[in-house]
């Protein structure tokens, strides 16, 4: 189906839903992301999806964000099946070019950023087991969250409403074992407390891919007539082997093998994090238009050590930083806002400051000589520097009624970003440097209540994405200091959409156009150092559809479709492999942006014969995904079928037993679940999981 027919069919479906004769009921999903005040998701003038706790629990063992996010249109969360690397996450193409980690998106847990000021982020500490919901914002209004906000993923923990305890166990294929426990209770005087812990082990379906994860958290809440305070403390540690990616030849020969370099170099990663955060909301009485204040403050420490597959001969280059990455990160921030309300106008004004400091070291990944190295160990120091990032932002958002059925929303976020490196290992040259950026992101939206249950909206914005500290670290000519020629990329976004709610049907549809200037890509790759360049203009256009239908009291279905046409507008030169000191491969205008998919889909059919019993079939599909800028390598399209069943038993005395059984990839399809895009070694492909079973048992005790 070509683009015009696709969009025409989508518009036709929206119109048919708008003119259907059904009883209208209010939307029950209340969101806060992207809005000046809490509001129903159906009333927001932008594309936003909510994944609730029930959907999270039914989707898997509550380990990876990828388990449930396929039901969100416009969002791609790919499971690498490699705990030594973060999930691959993109929204409308933003973040798709990240080979490792998450960038280009803003991530939050209970208002605390999981993205650093320079735009890098990670989701390994998301506590899915205790989440009340996850909100996913796409499109223009995401720019209100500052730098590198091509989309927003925000997790909200469940509040403590009553006393109770929970114990859970998960057993799955490929040696998956997980134990979880939590206890929560009001403790008097307006206070409540929750404590939780989890321990996971996984052997993996590829050699050298085992992982462990231990996590724990405390949440202390306080609520009075005008105040609500939440203090949270969480920690995790996660050692994991890294099986690396596969070349196309390896993937075709045996997709479940591990590249020999993984065992030769004993590639692996150890990560630890400790984070403390607090939020305080105060409601004002008799203070005129001043309605509420909110203050969020946080601090944390994250340590990562990673052993890479880099040959000793490569590290012999005096400019090389070694084959072991080791850093200790300290980060903190404050966000303060005031909410003002008049008869038909709501205004939020605020300020935010975020900081990170990375004490970064590099070591040889071997001992002995270059001719006879012993790999997989920590050798001699080769890098020692301090990286810093600091952002300071002011923002405002205004919402008000222009007429009885028309509401306008406008916002502005303006900030500065400073990135610095202080090199303390000068025997291989001075890599110190500093870059400063400033940005102003405006957004405007309109919502029209066209019919009872039907809202139409339009929004537009300008966005900003800075280079990260890693992307600025090296110059293409090999000299020391920051890359002074690399520019931030800017975007212009336009979105129109429709939202329909009735007694049995919910429908969200959106069309979007995004134009990006100065897109960032790889310039050179040599001696273990990647330098970046601006590759010119790119364009993203597409459509999203989310449909939920209660077919009958015991039957319901959900469908999400995404179409994305993401291409390079300008041609440029890229690297053919390593070493690459000068890019020589021409990338033609019209090539698809690396890491993006033209289409993906999710469908679910649920039969619930009684309130305590549920059976469901799920289908997931994704089109071809480009692995490199030249579009000569790609992950083939795939479709997967998943089955699940759940049962709940009331055992008496406040005890409830819940069982969940899943069979994922029931047809045992072979597919690439994720890609290491533009990998210099050509090891692009990360194999998706074969047929796998899961049995989860959860016991709840109310008291």
Tokens encoding 457: 């909206």
Using CA atoms, how far residue 520 sits from 95, 580, 594, 700, in Å, is 11, 17, 12, 49
List, in sequence order, every beta strand (DSSP E) within 224-267: 227-241
Q: What angle do CA 331, 334, 335 make, to 5 degrees?
A: 135
Tokens encoding 121: 């982020």
Q: How many CB atoms lie within 10 A of CB 656?
A: 17
Alpha helices by DSSP H, 322-468: none
CB 131 within 8 A of CB 53: yes
CB 204 within 8 A of CB 175: yes
CB 216 within 8 A of CB 196: yes
Using alpha carbons, select from 91, 28, 44 the residue that is nearest to residue 463: 91
Predicted local confidence at residue 475, as pLDDT: 86
Predicted local confidence at residue 519, as pLDDT: 95
Going by the DSSP 8-state scheme, the letter that residue 8 receives in this structure is: H
Q: How far apart are the first and last CA of the chain?
A: 56
Whole-angstrom distance, CA of residue 354 vs CA of residue 416 = 11
Q: Is 208 left (phi over 0), alpha (psi -120 to 50) or beta?
A: left
**Going by DSSP bridges, is the β-strand pair 151-157/112-113 parallel, antiparallel, or unpaired?**
unpaired
Length of the chain: 703
Predicted local confidence at residue 44, as pLDDT: 94
pTM greater than the 0.85 cutoff: yes
CATH number at residue 401: 2.40.170.20
Q: What angle do CA 157, 162, 167 make, to 5 degrees?
A: 70
Residue 10 belongs to domain spanning: 3-702
CB 397 within 8 A of CB 413: no
Can you tell me whether residue 499 is helix, strand or coil?
strand
Q: How far is CA 356 from the centre of its chain?
A: 19
Q: How far is CA 426 from the centre of its chain?
A: 36
Q: How many CB atoms lie within 10 A of CB 38?
A: 8
Q: How far is CA 322 from the centre of its chain?
A: 29
Domain tally for the chain?
1
Predicted local confidence at residue 528, as pLDDT: 63
Predicted local confidence at residue 527, as pLDDT: 62
Predicted local confidence at residue 35, as pLDDT: 87
List, in sequence order, every beta strand (DSSP E) within 591-691: 599-610, 613-622, 625-626, 634-635, 638-652, 655-664, 672-675, 685-687
Whole-angstrom distance, CA of residue 22 vs CA of residue 42 = 17
Tokens encoding 688: 């998706």
Tokens encoding 72: 């969100």
CB 269 within 8 A of CB 305: yes
pLDDT digits (tens, 9 = 90+) for 615-633: 999 999 999 999 999 999 9
Going by the DSSP 8-state scheme, the letter that residue 128 receives in this structure is: G
Report the number of secondary-structure helices (H) and strands (E) in the chain. Answer: 6, 43
Query: Is the peptide bond between 646 and the residue preceding it cis, with omega within 30 degrees of 0?
Result: no
Which residues are CB-contacts of 600 (< 8 A; sequence separation ≥ 6)? 70, 76, 561, 562, 620, 621, 622, 623
CB 36 within 8 A of CB 396: no
Q: What angle do CA 246, 250, 256 make, to 5 degrees?
A: 75
List, in sequence order, every beta strand (DSSP E) within 308-432: 324-341, 345-363, 366-368, 373-375, 381-403, 406-423
Rg, C-alpha atoms of the chain: 25
Whole-angstrom distance, CA of residue 123 vs CA of residue 680 = 25
Q: In which residue ranges of the chain is pLDDT below 50?
A: 1-27
């Amino acid at each position: 189906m070509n683009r015009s027919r696709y969009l025409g069919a989508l518009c036709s479906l929206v119109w048919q839903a708008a003119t259907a004769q059904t009883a209208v009921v209010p939307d029950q999903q209340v969101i806060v992301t992207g809005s000046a005040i809490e509001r129903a998701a159906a009333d927001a003038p932008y594309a936003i999806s909510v994944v609730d706790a029930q959907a999270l629990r039914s989707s898997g063992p509550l380990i990876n964000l990828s388990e449930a996010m396929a039901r969100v249109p416009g969002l791609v969360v790919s499971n690498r099946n490699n705990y030594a690397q973060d999930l691959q996450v993109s929204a409308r193409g933003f973040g798709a070019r990240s080979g490792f980690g998450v960038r280009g998106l803003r991530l939050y847990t209970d208002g605390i950023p999981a993205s650093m000021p320079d735009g890098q982020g990670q989701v390994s500490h998301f506590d899915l087991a205790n989440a009340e919901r996850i909100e996913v914002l796409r499109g223009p209004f995401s720019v209100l969250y500052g730098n590198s906000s091509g989309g927003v993923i925000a997790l909200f923990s469940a509040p403590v409403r009553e006393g109770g305890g929970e114990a859970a166990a998960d057993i799955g294929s490929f040696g998956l074992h997980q134990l979880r426990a939590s206890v929560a209770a009001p403790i008097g005087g307006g206070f409540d407390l929750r404590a939780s812990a989890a321990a996971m082990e996984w052997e993996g379906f590829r050699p050298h891919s085992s992982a462990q994860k231990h996590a724990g958290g405390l949440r202390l809440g306080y609520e009075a007539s005008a105040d609500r305070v939440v203090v949270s403390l969480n920690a995790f540690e996660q050692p994991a082997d890294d099986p690396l990616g596969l070349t196309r030849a390896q993937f075709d020969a045996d997709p479940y093998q591990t590249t020999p370099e993984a065992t030769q170099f004993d590639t692996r990663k150890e990560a630890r994090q400790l984070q403390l955060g607090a939020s305080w909301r105060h409601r004002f009485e008799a203070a005129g238009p001043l309605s509420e204040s909110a203050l969020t403050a946080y601090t944390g420490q994250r340590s990562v050590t990673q052993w890479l597959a880099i040959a000793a001969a490569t590290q012999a280059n005096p400019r090389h930083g070694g084959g072991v990455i080791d850093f200790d990160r300290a980060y903190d921030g404050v966000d303060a806002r005031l909410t003002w309300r008049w008869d038909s106008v709501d205004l939020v004004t605020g300020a935010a400051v975020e900081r990170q400091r990375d004490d970064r070291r590099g070591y040889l990944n071997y001992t002995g000589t270059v001719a006879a190295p012993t790999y997989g160990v920590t050798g001699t120091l080769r890098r020692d520097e301090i990286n810093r990032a600091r952002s300071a932002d002011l923002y405002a958002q205004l919402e008000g009624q222009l007429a009885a059925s028309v509401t306008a929303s406008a916002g502005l976020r303006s900030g500065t970003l400073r990135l610095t490196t202080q090199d303390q290992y000068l025997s291989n040259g001075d890599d110190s440097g500093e870059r400063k950026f400033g940005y102003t992101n405006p957004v405007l939206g309109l919502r029209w209540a066209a019919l009872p249950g039907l809202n139409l909206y339009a929004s537009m914005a300008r966005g900003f994405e800075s280079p990260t500290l890693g992307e600025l670290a090296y110059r293409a000519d090999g000299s020391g200091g920051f890359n002074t020629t690399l520019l931030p990329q800017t975007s212009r976004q336009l979105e129109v959409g429709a939202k329909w709610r009735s007694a049995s049907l919910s429908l969200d549809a959106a069309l979007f156009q995004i134009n990006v200037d100065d897109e960032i890509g790889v310039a050179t790759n040599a001696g273990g150092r990647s330098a970046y360049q601006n590759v010119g203009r790119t364009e993203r256009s597409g459509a999203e559809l989310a449909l939920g239908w209660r077919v009958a009291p015991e039957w319901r279905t959900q469908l999400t479709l995404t179409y994305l046409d993401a291409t390079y507008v300008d041609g440029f030169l890229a690297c053919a492999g390593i070493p690459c000191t000068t890019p020589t491969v021409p990338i033609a205008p019209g090539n698809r942006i690396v890491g993006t998919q033209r289409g993906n889909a999710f469908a679910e059919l649920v039969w619930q014969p009684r309130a305590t019993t549920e059976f469901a079939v799920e289908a997931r599909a994704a089109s071809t995904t480009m692995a490199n800028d030249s579009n000569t390598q790609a992950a083939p399209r795939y479709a997967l079928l998943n089955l699940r069943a759940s049962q709940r038993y009331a055992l008496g005395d406040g005890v409830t037993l819940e069982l969940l059984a899943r069979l994922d990839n029931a047809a045992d399809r072979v597919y690439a679940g994720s890609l290491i895009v533009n990998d210099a070694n050509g090891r692009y492909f990360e194999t998706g999981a074969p047929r796998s079973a899961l049995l989860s048992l959860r016991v709840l005790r109310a008291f």
